[in-house]
Amino acid sequence: MMEKMIFGRFIPGSSFIHKMDPRAKLIFVFAFILLVFVANNIPTYVALIVFTVAVVFVSRIRLYFLINGLKPVMILMIFTFLLHIFFTKGGDVIVHLGFIKIYEEGLKQGIFISTRFLVLVFMTSILTLTTSPISITDGLETLLNPLKKIKVPVHELALMMSIALRFIPTLMDETDKIMKAQMARGSDVTSGPIKERIKAVVPLLIPLFVSAFKRAEDLATAMEVRGYRGGEGRTRYRQLKWGIRDTIALLVLVLLGVALVYLRMNF
């Protein structure tokens, strides 16, 4: 189950998109999210789909892999689709079965909204699939830097995020170890009624929390000894480089925007 989920996973590669600056990618995705709401008719949605497929192609992530990994999200999409089909009224009645009436407008809205959903999920997945979590953190930190003026602790937040990311595998290993230790003593987390299972999680969480606090303390000491005293006067080892490909990508997005507005006005 966990292996299939592609949310938040990073697949290393060397495509055009992999090589982009994380800042450019973040701007790109946010701008794209806004652009999606420009679409309101068939040509615009077709344009969005074509564009998304093109991006998937450029990222060299296999479409099959992407679709397979996003199955859990698809359920949500189908649900939205059905909701619209049954509850949006307007236009001609296409299907009339007993008390169920499906209107033309409902079908249209259903398709539009789920397409919107689909392109958004695809785009954000491509962002996380092609960018390592630490690069995303770096990108966010630089992009949010102006917020420091209004006392938002941008550097601290970014550091917290990167440490959290760094410790996920460590804590996963630890959970696994504790689980095995408890299983060796006869606790069973994987079967039985829900109530029992929840009860069995407690002896798992407590040692995990205790050790997480211990780790945090050790880490804080190690950081202090290594001279950490906040973001002031700190230099950065990870340098972000804005390249020509980043400018190109954003220009392409501008073109998409122009195309969408044109299609919206003229069809």
Partner 1 sequence: MTEILSLQNITFTYDPDQPIIKNAVEDVTFSVNEGEWIAIVGHNGSGKSTLARIINGLLFPQSGEVKVFGEMMNEANIWDIRSQLGMVFQNPDNQFVGATVQDDVAFALENNGVPYEDMVIRVENALKQVQMDAFMDHEPQHLSGGQKQRVAIAGALALRPNLLILDEATSMLDPQGRKEVIEIVQQLRDETGLTVLSITHDLEEAILADRLLFMNNGKKFAEGNPSEIFGLGDQLIKLGLDLPFSMKMARLLQKEGVHLQGAHMSEEELVNDLWISNFKK
Q: Under the rule (CB under 8 A), what is the footprint of partner 1?
A: 132-134, 162-163, 165-166, 169-170, 173, 214-215, 218-219, 221-229, 233-239
Instruction: Work out how close the CB of 170 gets to partner 1 at its nearest, in angstroms, rounded to a whole number.
Output: 6
Q: Pick the closer one to partner 1 by CB: 173 or 196.
A: 173
Torsion of CA 191, 197, 201, 203, to 10 degrees: -90
Cβ at position 161, least distance to partner 1 in Å: 11
Minimum CB–partner distance for residue 128 and partner 1 (Å): 15
Residue with smaller CB distance to partner 1, 33 or 161: 161
Residue 150 CB, nearest approach to partner 1 (Å): 25
CB-nearer residue toward partner 1: 140 or 189: 140
**3-state helix, strand and coil shares in percent for the chain, rounded to the nearest 5:** 70, 5, 25
Identify which of 76, 126, 120, 86 has the alpha carbon closest to the alpha carbon of residue 106.
86
Q: How far is the CB of 175 from partner 1 (least distance, A)?
A: 13
* Residue 21 Cα distances to 27, 118, 199, angstroms: 10, 25, 46
- Identify which of residues 188 and 218 has a Cβ nearer to partner 1 in the complex: 218
Q: Which is nearer to partner 1, 168 or 261 (CB)?
A: 168
String of DSSP letters for 170-219: HHHHHHHHHHHHHHHTT--SSSS-HHHHHHHHHHHHHHHHHHHHHHHHHH
Give the residue among 171, 182, 39, 55 at the shortest CA–CA distance from 112. Answer: 39
